[in-house]
Amino acid sequence: MKLKNKAAVITGASRGIGEAIARAFAREGVDLLLVGRNKADMENVAEHVRGLGRKCLVSVTDVTREEEVAQAAEMAFEAFGKIDILVNNAGIGIFKTIQDISADEWNRVLAVNLTGPFLFTKAVLDAMIERGQGQIINISSDVGTRTIPRGSAYCASKFGLEGFTGVLAKEVRKLGIKVGVIRPGLTATFFAGNQPDDPETDGWLHPEDVAEAAVYMASASRHALVDEIVLHPTIQEY
């Protein structure tokens, strides 16, 4: 258990990929702050985590609001005395043609998927640099490096996240901070209106697949950097 007694913040942790990462990290001995919008769902995850003997807090936070992000980070620092790992997972998708998507919808997708990771990174980075260690994992998408029809806002947000991740990695690598990105393909979650048990999702990735990748990335020795992991469902060719 290379992650035992580390402390992590996971955004978008109420269900799907975020929930799976929380459960996987807890099994590895990590104390957690779960960040999301649905308190009841996060409390269910937290109950499971506590059942594994780990500390777990819940913060109802809008990741696009700087003051709320700062308060969530401070909650983790007060409870754990540190933040070893930040997982920027919170994300939304609105899939419409460029003609049909509204400016408000466009701005909302970019705010959650791109500004959110920026704000949480800002909130934890100084403390990580002071300690000379830390891990930031950004959950992107396979469409962070390619495009799809009706995906203008989502692709733009994930392309932006890829650029942000690359710049961040260059700025903090020599300061002892590891930065990595995980790019899942189609994943069977509730994202974008999908139902995990729909026949349409048969053969897609499962949230646990992404969680395993996050554990692997965070568990690399201090001499090794895993800076990107790409996950494709076996049913689809790219």
| First-residue to last-residue Cα distance in the chain | 35
> Which of 154, 159, 164, 191 is labelled catalytic?
154
CA-to-CA distance for 124 and 137, rounded, in angstroms? 13
How far, CA to CA in Å, does 68 sit from each of 59, 72, 123? Answer: 9, 6, 10
- 80-92 burial, b at 16+ Cβ within 10 Å, e below that, comes to bebbbbbbbbbbb
Angle at 129 between CA 126 and CA 133, to 5 degrees: 135
Active-site residue, 238 included: no
The residues annotated with a catalytic role in the active site are 154
